[in-house]
Amino acid sequence: MKIHRTLVLAVTQALTDIFRDGMYADKAIERMLKSDPRWGSRDRAFIAENTYEMVRWWRLVVEIGFGHWELRKVPNEPSLIRLVGVNLLLKNLRSPIFNFELPDWPEFAGLDAKFVQERRDALVADRKTTQSIPDWLDELAVAELGEKWDAELTALNIPAAVVIRANTLKTNKLELKKLLAAEGWESTETPIAPDALVLDKRGNIFQSPVFLKGFFEVQDAGSQCIGEFLRAEPGMRVVDACAGAGGKSLHLAALMQNRGSIIALDTEGWKLEELRKRARRNGAHVIQTRTIESSKTIKRLHGTADRLLLDVPCSGLGTLRRNPDAKWKLSPEFLDTVREKQAEILRSYSKILRPSGQLVYATCSILPSENERQVERFLSENPGFKLLEERKISPSEHGFDGFYMARIELVKE
């Protein structure tokens, strides 16, 4: 495999966009891939894979390359080129079938497999470096999860597979599996989610004719469990109060067989516009969208819902497999703010339920302070509600993104 300087420079620019300018990794990579239409599939894969790998293993790569760790100081271009070399050598150590030689560039002077292996071996006892996690986040997770954190952290550093959900308004899982196979997309089933298929390879699945017909959506298996957990039935009135672009609203429409009504709320109108486009493609006719403009939007819905989904803002710690840049952007201050936001949403939005209605409080975090402790706090302050059931999706145990969900019933007004 030949290493081309143009591609290495593309990786360094994407890293600069992420670490210096604060761009989301997927957006930085997308922008870079669009910058040169001459790049072929192998070129594009090199850029995307190496950028994601370096973001995932950033602390380890920097420690090996320079012997110290400092996130706030983004290296200059020559130093970033050297770090790309470190990453390529690490990749070769992890998978010897990845065969290449570093070119004779000045930035790679003194850099070889022996150097990288010795540096890596010297760091093996330092989990925060070898698993590439900020000190404060490692310490917090140990305090909250104890011995479980080690296994979860290891799992969170394994890149996520692409998982899709069959849209049962138009097809079923087995038929979808056959249709995709005819296009060259092989897939496997998973017991964790009844409509999920795990793709055997990566690629631009969004150009599949089957996708364009609305036969499936890309959605992690753990995320799919939340829709099922809400126990929404055909004919019910359901409110998805933190809908975003609406992946769970679309799933609920399918589970409800397009019967009843789903009100999808969000504070950002552009996300709801994306949901409307997706709903048309999916043939989901029961979804209404409403932008949350003030507390009056919520008050108008008080006492009206049979089911309420609160997929609240969170740290996103359970999704580091697909969003590795999140761990470098999180801060203790942000976590304090988001936990208060979670409590406020649960407290104020729960009034949307009618008597005997049920809500699901959900996060894509694995921290108890965002999950069961929030539910315990809410129940202690609101005796008219009772906990029916909890479920956790663990990256280490289930192999998918980490989620928490709690189903709560309003037993009296």
Position 93 scores a pLDDT of 85
Lowest mean pLDDT: which of 87-91, 212-216, 259-263, 370-374? 87-91
CATH number at residue 178: 3.30.70.1170
**Are 236 and 363 members of one domain?**
yes
Contact 366, 404 (CB under 8 A): yes
**Are 204 and 257 members of one domain?**
no
Lowest mean pLDDT: which of 80-94, 254-268, 343-357? 80-94
Structure tokens that stand for 393 in this block: 């999706």
pLDDT at residue 412 tops 80: no
**Are 280 and 399 members of one domain?**
yes
Position 296 scores a pLDDT of 93
Mean pLDDT computed over 323-348? 97
Domain boundary among 86, 109, 132: 132
Residue 142 covered by a domain: no
pLDDT at residue 73 tops 80: no
194-216 tens-digit pLDDT: 999 999 998 889 999 999 999 99
CATH number at residue 393: 3.40.50.150
Among 150, 145, 148, residue whose Cα is nearest residue 372: 145
Domain boundary among 183, 199, 218: 218
CATH number at residue 101: 1.10.940
Residues 174, 175, 179: CA angle, nearest 5 degrees: 120
**Are 197 and 334 members of one domain?**
no
| pLDDT band at 407; cut points 50, 70, 90 | very high
Q: How many CB atoms lie within 10 A of CB 293?
A: 9
Residue 143 covered by a domain: no
**Are 206 and 340 members of one domain?**
no
The Cα–Cα gap between 59 and 216 comes to 37
Residue 16 covered by a domain: yes
| DSSP code, position 294 | S
**Are 203 and 313 members of one domain?**
no
Residue 255 covered by a domain: yes
Point out which residues pair with 403 in neighbouring strands: 393
Mean pLDDT computed over 210-226? 97
| pLDDT band at 100; cut points 50, 70, 90 | confident
378-400 tens-digit pLDDT: 999 999 999 999 999 999 999 99
**Are 266 and 389 members of one domain?**
yes
Position 12 scores a pLDDT of 97
**Are 337 and 280 members of one domain?**
yes
Position 68 scores a pLDDT of 79
Among 295, 409, 296, 305, residue whose Cα is nearest residue 353: 305
Range of the domain at 103: 5-132
Residue 154 covered by a domain: no
Domain boundary among 218, 237, 253: 218
Number of domains in the chain: 3
pLDDT at residue 95 tops 80: no
Integer angstrom CA distances of residue 278 from 118, 171, 218, 351: 50, 16, 11, 29
The Cα–Cα gap between 372 and 273 comes to 33
**Are 401 and 365 members of one domain?**
yes
**Are 112 and 256 members of one domain?**
no
Position 286 scores a pLDDT of 98
The alpha-helical segments, DSSP class H, found in 20-124 are: 25-34, 41-56, 58-66, 77-94, 113-122
Backbone torsion region of residue 208, taken as left when φ is above 0, otherwise alpha when ψ lies between -120 and 50, otherwise beta: beta
- With 0-12 / 13-18 / 19 or more C-beta atoms within 10 angstroms meaning exposed / middle / buried, residue 391 is middle
**Are 212 and 233 members of one domain?**
no
Lowest mean pLDDT: which of 24-33, 87-96, 116-125, 326-335? 87-96
**Are 237 and 288 members of one domain?**
yes
The Cα–Cα gap between 248 and 242 comes to 10
